[in-house]
Structure 1
Amino acid sequence: MLTRKQIDLLKLIHTRMEQDGVAPSFDEMKDALDLRSKSGIHRLITALEERGFIRRLPHRARAIEVLKLPDALSREGFVAHVVDGGAPEKPVAPANAVPVEAAAMALPIMGKIAAGTPIEAISEAVRNVAVPGTMLNARSQHYALEVQGDSMIDLGINDGDIVVIREQNTADNGDIVVALIEGHEATLKRFRRHGGMIALEAANPAYETRLLRDDQVQVQGRLVGLIRSY
């Protein structure tokens, strides 16, 4: 089963090839699907490839072959095409959400996030986790991270927990966010703005608040849920 965004992208590629003989660019895909960045398109394309609807052709830069369509689209007619659409320059994560059952979705776990000393920035998925659909906003992209460390323990976020993150690049005071520091370190902290400075607050008295310039911190998402295994 595909998500609505995956179906929309597959239909867009197929329709444009039928009408114009050329595929939409990544920018056109992004705008058509109302996504904030091309990284979302990268994830959707990877998911479609993993599910056998398309394949990226080896030894051909930015080439994609459309192999099949979902039943709902197949009834409209289908002919396989090779699509030059702008493949990503580096490995990308699986799709953000794949339906598992009515009450759950599968999200990629994008590595570990530091609740302590910042670690390297998240780059690619390592496995999937089933997440209750009630945690997710259908109009947003989501991913999951494994917590490493105890700096947020007073808020009930423990080492080894899985946190569910909604992708966004802004935050309100008091939000718990994934913050990218100076472009290469990622951490999970409470966000507060003080004039032109950003405070990243721990929830453990053993850790000091980090005060950074606004241009040193990039918000990559906000905590919307937590999953714990016993």
Structure 2
Amino acid sequence: MLTRKQHELICFIDDRLKETGVSPSFEEMKEALDLKSKSGVHRLISALEERQFIRRLPNRARALEVLRMPERGETTKKPARATAPRPAPTPPPAPANDVLEIPLHGRIAAGVPIEALEGQQMLSVPAALLGSGEHYALEVAGDSMVEAGILDGDYALVRRTDAARDGEIVVALIEENEATLKYFRREGAMIRLDPANRSYDPQRYRPDQVRVQGKLAGLLRRY
């Protein structure tokens, strides 16, 4: 027997597939079920998959397929909700590969402002790796963030913002000239940019010397 949340989730996924042919995002599922975190969505999806109600489609970002809907007595009663009458069921279209195109601004390198790289290329990114907001990508150069799992050649997925909190990984533009990916910290009246590599020293600047251009939202690695 399915739990109420499992039943709500499979109905939400089924409705979305019939309406658009595209699986809802984990963020959309979290909000629809009023869950506190995406980990709860993962647990519900895994439970539905184990019971063979849904399956994940291989080689597709975030794509799900409903194999069957619960029968009477197989689930707790779904809470009533006001909806318009549903049309006669029609075969759902095949789930789409949910991929977004975001600007690829090149490699993070000394002497190259982010603005100078805009509009050069686009990078295809699974939508599940991105949250809300506007994003861009940067190719990582060097090994200053290896202890944070960020390697040379990785693509940093960055959400545009000009504000950051202590401990967040940011793209910082130093003196309007040098772009760098580092941990952001405030140290008294100074801004400290910390590498994630014991071979490198922290960098300290006055606030007027540093401009935050985004926060790390995800990482894409090609093999």
Normalised to the residue count of structure 1, the TM-score between the two structures is 0.52
Question: What does 1:106-117 align with in structure 2 at a 5 Å threshold?
Answer: 106-114=101-109
Between the aligned partners of 1:163 and 1:183, the Cα distance in structure 2 is 20
Between the aligned partners of 1:131 and 1:160, the Cα distance in structure 2 is 16
Q: Which amino acid aligns with 1:108?
A: P
Partner of 2:216: 223
Partner of 2:41: none
- Determine if contact 2:131/2:217 at 8 Å carries over to the other structure: no
- CA-CA distance at 1:112 after TM superposition: 1.0
- CA-CA distance at 1:127 after TM superposition: 1.9
Q: Which amino acid aligns with 2:119?
A: A
- CA-CA distance at 1:121 after TM superposition: 1.0
Between the aligned partners of 1:204 and 1:166, the Cα distance in structure 2 is 23
Q: Which amino acid aligns with 2:185?
A: R
Between the aligned partners of 1:145 and 1:125, the Cα distance in structure 2 is 12
- Structure 1: which 5+ residue stretches go unaligned? 1-100
Between the aligned partners of 1:173 and 1:145, the Cα distance in structure 2 is 22
Between the aligned partners of 2:189 and 2:176, the Cα distance in structure 1 is 18
User: Structure 1 pair 176/197, CA: closer, same or farther in 2 (3 Å)?
Assistant: same
The percent identity for this pair of structures is 48
Between the aligned partners of 1:131 and 1:200, the Cα distance in structure 2 is 27
Between the aligned partners of 2:222 and 2:150, the Cα distance in structure 1 is 12
Between the aligned partners of 1:161 and 1:127, the Cα distance in structure 2 is 16
Aligned partner of residue 148 in structure 1, secondary structure: coil
Between the aligned partners of 1:158 and 1:121, the Cα distance in structure 2 is 21
What's the CA shift string for 1:134-171, capped at 9, x where partnerless?
22233x11100000110001111000100100000000
Question: What does 1:134-153 align with in structure 2 at a 5 Å threshold?
Answer: 134-138=128-132, 140-153=133-146
- Determine if contact 2:100/2:127 at 8 Å carries over to the other structure: yes
- Determine if contact 1:179/1:188 at 8 Å carries over to the other structure: yes
Question: What does 1:149-168 align with in structure 2 at a 5 Å threshold?
Answer: 149-168=142-161
- Determine if contact 1:172/1:192 at 8 Å carries over to the other structure: yes
Aligned partner of residue 125 in structure 1, secondary structure: coil
Question: What does 1:11-90 align with in structure 2 at a 5 Å threshold?
Answer: none
1:130 is the counterpart of 2:124: yes
- Determine if contact 1:146/1:163 at 8 Å carries over to the other structure: yes
What's the CA shift string for 1:176-209, capped at 9, x where partnerless?
0000001111100000011221100000111110
Structure exhibiting the larger radius of gyration computed from Cα positions = 2
Between the aligned partners of 1:119 and 1:107, the Cα distance in structure 2 is 23
- Determine if contact 2:174/2:210 at 8 Å carries over to the other structure: yes
- CA-CA distance at 1:120 after TM superposition: 1.5
Between the aligned partners of 1:184 and 1:176, the Cα distance in structure 2 is 19
CA RMSD of aligned residues (A): 1.3
Partner of 2:61: none
Where relative contact order (Cα < 8 A, 6+ residues apart) is larger, the structure is 2
- CA-CA distance at 1:102 after TM superposition: 5.0
Normalised to the residue count of structure 2, the TM-score between the two structures is 0.54
Q: Which amino acid aligns with 2:131?
A: N
- Structure 2: which 5+ residue stretches go unaligned? 1-95
Between the aligned partners of 1:147 and 1:125, the Cα distance in structure 2 is 18
The correspondence for 1:179, drawn from 172, 184, 189, is 172
- CA-CA distance at 1:111 after TM superposition: 1.2
- Determine if contact 2:191/2:206 at 8 Å carries over to the other structure: yes
Between the aligned partners of 1:111 and 1:222, the Cα distance in structure 2 is 16
